Amino acid sequence: MLNRHAKILDLVNTNKKIEVTKLAEEIKISQVTIRKDLDMLEKIGLLKREHGFAVMVASDDINNHLAFNYNLKREIATKAAQLVSNGETIIIESGASCALLAEEIALHKHDVTIITNSAFIASFIRKAPFVKIVLLGGDYQNESQVVVGPMVKKCIENFYVDKMFVGTDGFHEKIGFTGNNHMRVETLKAMAEQANKIIILTESSKFVQQGVVAQFKPNEVNYVFTDSNIPEKTLNFLQSQHVNVQLVGVDA
CATH code at 37? 1.10.10.10
Q: Does 64 map to a domain? A: no
Using the predicted structure, report yes or no on whether residue 151 has a pLDDT greater than 70.
yes
User: Within 10 A of 8 (CB to CB), how many other CB atoms are there?
Assistant: 25
Per-residue pLDDT band for 82 (boundaries 50, 70, 90) equals very high
41 and 153, same domain (yes or no)? no
Q: What distance in Å separates the CA atoms of residue 56 and residue 135, rounded to the nearest whole number?
A: 28
pLDDT for the residue numbered 2: 56
Using the predicted structure, report yes or no on whether residue 117 has a pLDDT greater than 90.
yes
Higher pLDDT, 68 or 11: 11
Lowest mean pLDDT of 50-59, 167-176, 177-186, name the range.
50-59
pLDDT for the residue numbered 105: 96
For 76, 136, 171, the CA distances from 225, given in Å and listed in that order, are 6, 25, 14
Using the predicted structure, report yes or no on whether residue 17 has a pLDDT greater than 90.
no
Q: What distance in Å separates the CA atoms of residue 174 and residue 197, rounded to the nearest whole number?
A: 21
Higher pLDDT, 100 or 68: 100
Question: Do the Cβ atoms of 18 and 53 come closer than 8 Å?
Answer: yes
User: Within 10 A of 138 (CB to CB), how many other CB atoms are there?
Assistant: 20
122 and 83, same domain (yes or no)? yes
Those residues whose C-beta lies under 8 Å from the C-beta of residue 32, and which sit 6 or more positions away, are none
20 and 105, same domain (yes or no)? no
CA angle, 105 as apex, 121 and 196 as ends, to 5°? 85
Per-residue pLDDT band for 67 (boundaries 50, 70, 90) equals low
Mean pLDDT value across residues 200-205: 93
Specify the CATH number for the domain of residue 120. Answer: 3.40.50.1360
Do β-strands 195-201 and 223-227 pair in parallel, antiparallel, or remain unpaired?
parallel
User: What average pLDDT is seen over the chain?
Assistant: 88
pLDDT for the residue numbered 43: 77
- In 3D space, the residue among 121, 110, 59, 58 whose CA is nearest the CA of residue 84 turns out to be 110
25 and 102, same domain (yes or no)? no
The whole domain housing 141 covers: 70-248
174 and 238, same domain (yes or no)? yes
Q: Does 107 map to a domain? A: yes
Residue 117, amino acid: N
Per-residue pLDDT band for 197 (boundaries 50, 70, 90) equals very high
Instruction: Provide the whole-model pTM.
Output: 0.77
Domain count, the chain: 2
pLDDT for the residue numbered 252: 42
Residue 125, amino acid: I
Mean pLDDT value across residues 64-75: 72
